Structures are given as C-alpha cells and as structure tokens.
Amino acid sequence: MKAYVLDRYGKGQPLRLTDVPDPLIGSRDVLVAVGATALNQLDSKIRDGEFKALLRYKPPFVLGHDVAGRVIAVGQGVRRFRPGDAVHGRPRDGRIGTFAERIAIDEADLAHKPAGLDMAEAASLPLVALTAWQALVEVAALRAGQKVLIHAGSGGVGTIAIQLATHLGATVATTTSGANADLVRSLGADIVIDYRTQDFAEQLSGYDLVLASLDAKTLERSLTVLKPGGRLISISGPPDPAFAKAQRLNPILRLAMRVLSAGIRRKAKRAGVAYSFLFMRADGDQLAEVDALIEQGAIRPVIDRTFRFGQLNDALAYVDSGRAKGKVVVKLT
C-alpha cells in the first residue's frame, strides 16, 4: 500500500510517499481503508523530534493521528464493528499511521462515523474532539454557569472546545485574531479577545478554567485571570509529574518533567489554582459521546482546507504556517 514515511527527525522534514507492507491485524484490531485523514500540530512536533523522549517512534515510520474510512476486515475478537462499517478514530500512541491507504486500529479506539458527516468531516474530529472532551469534561468537570477561557479559539482544538463548553452551559471567552472573530462567535464564544490589539489578562478575571495551547508566557499570564480554586490546563506543556507517573516514564524522565514544570506549578500554587498538563489519549467511547452531540447539532466540524493524498506535504506545510482555521484534511477517496 502507499504511505507517507518519516525517514528521519528534523524540523520541516518532508515525508516520503512510498510502498509499505499492508498492516497485520490482531484479534482486537479493525483494518480500515482510509477515506480521509486530518493533520495536527502533534504531527509536526513528532516530525520535528520534540517528543522523541516520550513517544519512541523509530524512523522510518508512518505519521498520522486522525482517520475516517470503511472497515475492510476485523480480528476474531472484535464485536463492535464489521466489514463495510463507516468509522472514525484516533489510533493510540505507538500505533499511529493514518497517512496511508490502510491502517489497523484497536477496536477500542474507534467509533462509528456520524451519519450526517462525510469522510473529510469525520476525519477532522477525533484528536481535537477527544482533547476538548478530556480537558473540559473529564479533567475540569466544567458545569453550567462557570467561566472558561479557551486560547486560540479558531484553531483545531479551540473550535471544538468552544462548542463543547457552550453546550455545557459555560460562559466562554476566547483569544483569536480580529479576522476570526465572527467564526468563534458563530461557534458560541461570548467574549472575543483580539490578541493583536487587546490583552486578555487585563480584560478577564474570575474565571474557573483556562484551556491553554500557546507559549510559556501566555501560559503564565493565564494564571491572572483565574479565581482562587480555578484550574489551568495546558495541552502544549510543560508536562507535569502527574503526567510522567501516568505514562510510567523512567525516573530520569520523571525528574525532567518535575523540573520543567516546577516554575508554572509553583506560580499556580501561589495563586491558589491547579495546574495540569493534558496529553490526550485515544478513546472510542468518548468519541462516541462527542458524535452524539454532533448528531444533535450541538457541535459541528470546522475545516479550513482539504488536500489530495498526493499533496500531503503541502498540507503539512500549511498546518506549520499557523494560519489554519479549524482543521486541515487530506482526502484519499
């Protein structure tokens, strides 16, 4: 089959389109013919080598974390899916590889594709939808009447997180450029901060939650908008000791995580708020929860551009530009 392979780590390193062996499926695996895949900042960071210590992929390997497609075959232990089913999902760490014509995925990582979405729309959702769900629902337990600041509201995670927080009944503030203000308002944002002309730290206060995805300076300044007892969740780092423990990292890496996050944890404690790092995980059941909201009309996918499979490196370069609103998708069929 055709697939895009990363031959070596390096910033901006192009992926190589080549022939690779078809995936082998285990007893709990589902073999999916990829109809569409979506690109994420995580793909760029892995390519650049930023996660070599945490995600030990040995080049050459196939990148890609989002998929929608049709089931070709299932392992003998699979009960939830059968050939012909339309599915989507985010394969778990260690088993990524959606930049390919086919991929074998553990059935626990998949959900049935919402009937009202095409393959491109369904492929755009898994990683960002799971990130938003795990941050807002699982970790923060966001409730009606609370206030949340979602940074980078026009990005992949931001566009879904705004909609989910709105559905949960929260008051939503977000940062974005003025050009994207109408988009984030249409998704449910109550307060829009133009980061080019306004300072969110001066405009906002008394918030219960901040979902951060930007640089270290923005992360630190986000502490000032939280009320005592609030929570700061970062999906861009630095990783904290709780994450290191959950990932069962070796003692050296655990120490490194403790040191890297010491500054922000100390400042959060001084401010009376909680800091945590979220590295989302694959979960087909949670994705099905989001899919139910999609079918109710509470959440819709946001796609900036679609590319053909032969243009995947162009699509990755577009993601790297930081200009995408919502998700960038590559279609195979």
DSSP assignment string, 123-141: HTSHHHHHHHHIIIIIIS-
H-helix or E-strand spanning residue 201: helix 200-203
The percentage of the chain sitting over the pLDDT mark of 90, rounded to a whole number, equals 87
294 found inside a domain: no
Structure confidence at residue 257 (pLDDT): 81
Same domain, 94 and 211: no
The reply to whether 8 and 83 lie within a common domain is yes
Rg (CA), the chain: 19
Check whether residue 87 and residue 222 sit in a common domain.
no
What mean pLDDT, rounded, does the chain reach?
95
For residue 78, what are the domain limits? 2-125+301-331
Q: Provide, for the chain, the percentages of residues in helix, strand and coil under a 3-state DSSP scheme, each rounded to the nearest 5.
A: 35, 25, 40
Residues 137 and 92 in one domain: no
**Domain check: are 118 and 250 in the same one?**
no
- Based on the domain organization, do 194 and 211 belong to the same domain? yes
pLDDT value for 261:
81
Asked whether residue 284 is assigned to any structural domain, the reply reads: no
Residues 151, 187 within the same domain: yes
Whether residues 95 and 161 fall in one domain = no
Is residue 285 in some structural domain? no
The whole-number pLDDT of residue 52 equals 85
Polymer length of the chain: 333
Query: pLDDT at position 173, please?
Result: 98
Q: Is residue 311 part of a domain?
A: yes
Closest among 133, 153, 118, 135 to 38, alpha carbons compared: 118
In a domain, 292, yes or no: no
Residues of the chain under the 50 pLDDT cut: none
Tell me, what's the pLDDT at 4?
A: 98
- What CATH code is carried by the domain that includes residue 220? 3.40.50.720
- Give the span between the Cα atoms of 5 and 277, in whole angstroms: 29
Q: Are residues 234 and 160 in the same domain?
A: yes
Structurally, the chain folds into a number of domains equal to 2
pLDDT digits (tens, 9 = 90+) for 214-250: 888 999 999 999 999 999 999 987 887 888 777 777 8
Based on the fold, state whether residues 178 and 251 are members of the same structural domain: yes
- 24 Cβ partners below 8 Å, 6+ apart? 104
Same domain assignment for residues 159 and 248: yes
pLDDT at 214: 87
Whether residue 147 sits in one domain with residue 172: yes
The answer to whether residue 288 sits within a structural domain is: no
